[in-house]
Amino acid sequence: MTAPSRCPALLIAAPASGQGKTTVTAALARLHARQGRRVRVFKCGPDFLDPFWHTLASGAPVHQLDLWMTGEADCRARLHQAAREADLILVEGVMGLYDGQPSAADLARHFGLPVLAVIDASAMAGTFGALAHGLQHYQDGLPWAGVLANRAGSARHAGMLQRGLREPEHWLGALSRNPALVLPERHLGLVAATELHDALQRLDAAADALADTPLGRMTLDELRLRWRVDFAPPATNPPMPALLQGRTVAVARDAAFCFLYAANLECLQALGARLVFFSPLTDSVLPVCDAVWLPGGYPELHAARLAANHGLRDSLRAHVAAGRPLWAECGGMMALFERLTDGEGLTHALWGLLPGSVTLQKRLAALGPQALQIDDAELRGHTFHYSTCDTPLRPRWRTRPPGGGPVAGEGEAVYQQGSIVASYFHAWFPSAPPLVARLFGAGQQQSEALAA
């Protein structure tokens, strides 16, 4: 039997979103990567945007860990493999430490990950200690590393925060209030690091600030002594069948379509698919392919350019007319409708492969874990979008949340028209590889495969 893999590890959490845990995680990864250490970063829960920053900071791919969406076995396998290769493992939590089912705290307890709490202390003093104590002891059995104060007003303020802790050894330092350490945001979350020319400089500034804290000054030996975790080996699974062997999948990838889980690409390759990439913003024709994947992203920010790309629109129409599969999720689906009204109220004529229109809203339209059940297969994932669609199409399927209850009454619609399958649903491909292979036309045309 394979022996456990040992590696220092931290789960960086917070009382709520917006406390600075992404900045601290990326800064810590960058600080150690600059010193030549091998750092592996994971993101707890579904998220496309934070991993852009962690990939840049660590220089390594970033995968998701979620006890429901990705599953315990997948989490165990990825952590065990990372511990075999890395000097340090970092896991960024999601929302607040105890938010969600399962929560970041559940993940920490399950795998023995020591929790580093990042708390925005800009408007508190003694309450900082109470909040840290509550986070540590709210549920029994939580591995604990300590607490880092973010956005402290001064050295005197930081001292007040430190004195408020019941356990002084849990103080890991403070970062000062500094606009240069704030990562820019938009309606779906952080701006992707790939969109900013100074992204690495921002991370270096954050890493430099963290280097002046007790956490940042720790050597690798100190990290191993304090927070080494033994990651148990995963069970041996049979190899994935090459259901897409000999098929080429064209994947849209650019600033408009950038919500791609690395694990989804790896899953398609493990199924035997050859992947080719194209840009709907700049390419006028599809690559030669058997199937197309239009992932989520920001079509609303690039609607004018997408609408003007008549060549790609016609190429997609020819692809669908030939009965070849097209899987479109969230932003990918939005671009397929006839019209898109953006956040400024401007309406653009989009590609028109699906009847109807989408309109960007001021508030979040849907958020949460979702599952798509087709026959006896369950494809897990999530939904997160600000737009709504108006279409005469009737859903072929609907997703559901964990436990089977409704979301906003009915769950996300999954539409099928010809060889197109489209939804706001973001899928986690490794949760149901055979169903994913069917969606991409394994062995036969998609419409026949799904009707079987």
Is 330 part of the annotated catalytic residue set?
A: yes
Mean pLDDT of the chain: 90
| Closest alpha carbon to 21 in 112, 135, 129, 126 | 135
Determine the Cα–Cα distance for residues 150 and 24; give it in Å rounded to an integer: 9
Determine the Cα–Cα distance for residues 447 and 147; give it in Å rounded to an integer: 53
Helix (H/G/I), strand (E/B), else coil: 197? coil
Domains 5-231 and 248-451 share a fold: yes
- CATH no. of 5-231: 3.40.50.300
Rg of the chain taking only CA atoms, in angstroms: 23
pLDDT on residue 52:
87
pLDDT in tens, 4-57: 899 999 999 999 998 999 999 999 999 999 999 999 999 998 888 889 889 999
Strands 377-385 and 366-374: antiparallel
pLDDT in tens, 407-429: 444 689 999 999 999 999 999 99
In this prediction, residue 121 has a pLDDT band, given cuts at 50, 70 and 90, of very high
Say which residues have a Cβ less than 8 Å from residue 213's Cβ, sequence separation at least 6.
148, 172, 173, 174, 175
Exactly one of 44, 267, 330, 389 is catalytic; name it.
Answer: 330
Lowest mean pLDDT among 104-108, 369-373, 403-407: 403-407
Helix (H/G/I), strand (E/B), else coil: 26? helix
**What is the second-level CATH architecture of the domain 248-451?**
3-Layer(aba) Sandwich (3.40)
Compute the average pLDDT of residues 306-326: 96
Helix (H/G/I), strand (E/B), else coil: 399? coil
Q: How far is CA 280 from CA 83, 84, 293, 294, in A?
A: 38, 39, 12, 9
Domain ranges of the chain: 5-231, 248-451
